[in-house]
């Protein structure tokens, strides 16, 4: 089973990907996480990526396609995968089609997580992520705070989660990513999941029900 999560920054793509990963035992491929791992490596490329990502712009299509294609063709993904944060523009969506065609696989479900913009800033600014297991929490909606232990590692903030960068990321999302909603709508595989003040569990239930039916 191959699944794709679409949605604005902070809409909950990572949160839902992790839940679906556990529920169906297929791996999450988050281009944001892969790129952040590169920035943490201290390489020259990592330094360049850090600058681009902290401005809220996209990194090159060529680089993300290379990262995704390496993952998708690995043994880990032989039973399927969950794409989180890729594709993000029409060119990436077309390249993904070519790659999947060559591998003779297809995306079965695209979930668009639709969250009102006024909630997005709070979700991003309050986000904390475990530096070891990647578990995502929020300082506004949970008792966890930056620096707390998750059990496996420590909760840290992302460098791009300040209000200015989030505003830029939202602008880039509406200019470059929103057009791909129609691309997947036309294929008849898009499911719109409306999120809001209620927590992530209700959304997971809705997604699991769609997949199981």
Catalytic residue among 19, 88, 123, 135: 88
Please, what is the minimum distance in Å from the beta carbon of residue 135 to ligand AP5? 9
Phi-psi category of residue 7: left, alpha or beta, with phi > 0 → left and psi -120 to 50 → alpha: left
Q: Which residue bears the tokens 């709508």? A: 185
Two tokens, residue 64? 């993300």
Which residue number, 102 or 178, has a Cβ lying nearer to Mg ion?
A: 178
Decide if 123 is catalytic.
no
Round to the nearest angstrom and report the end-to-end CA distance of the chain: 13
Q: Which residues lie near ligand AP5 (CB under 6 A)?
A: 7, 9-15, 31-32, 35, 52-53, 56-59, 64, 85-86, 88, 92, 123-124, 126-127, 136-138, 141, 160, 169, 195, 199-200, 203
For residue 10, state whether it binds Mg ion (rule: CB under 5 A): no
Give, for 44, the enclosing helix (H) or strand (E): helix 44-55
How far is Cα 127 from Cα 152, in angstroms, rounded to an integer? 17
7, 10, 12, 14: which one binds Mg ion (CB under 5 A): 14
Interface residues with Mg ion (CB under 5 A)? 14
Active-site residues, by number, are: 13, 88, 127, 158, 169
């Amino acid at each position: 089973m191959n699944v794709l999560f679409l949605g604005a920054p902070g809409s909950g793509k990572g949160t839902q990907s992790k839940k679906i990963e556990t529920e169906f035992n297929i791996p999450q491929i988050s281009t944001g996480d892969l790129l952040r791992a590169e920035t943490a490596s201290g390489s020259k490329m990592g330094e360049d990526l850090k600058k681009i990502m902290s401005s809220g712009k996209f990194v090159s299509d060529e680089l993300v396609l290379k990262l995704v294609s390496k993952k998708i063709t690995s043994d880990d993904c032989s039973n399927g995968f969950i794409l989180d944060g890729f594709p993000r523009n029409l060119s990436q969506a077309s390249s993904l089609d070519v790659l999947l065609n060559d591998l003779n696989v297809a995306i079965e479900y695209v979930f668009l997580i639709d969250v009102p913009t006024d909630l997005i800033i709070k979700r991003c600014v309050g986000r904390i992520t475990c530096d070891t297991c990647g578990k995502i929490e929020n300082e506004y909606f949970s008792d966890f705070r930056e620096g707390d232990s998750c059990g496996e590692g420590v909760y840290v903030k992302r460098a791009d989660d300040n209000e200015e960068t989030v505003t830029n990321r939202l602008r880039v999302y509406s200019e470059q990513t929103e057009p791909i909603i129609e691309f997947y709508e036309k294929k008849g595989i898009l499911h719109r999941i409306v999120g809001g003040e209620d927590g992530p569990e209700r959304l997971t239930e809705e997604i699991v029900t769609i997949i199981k039916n």
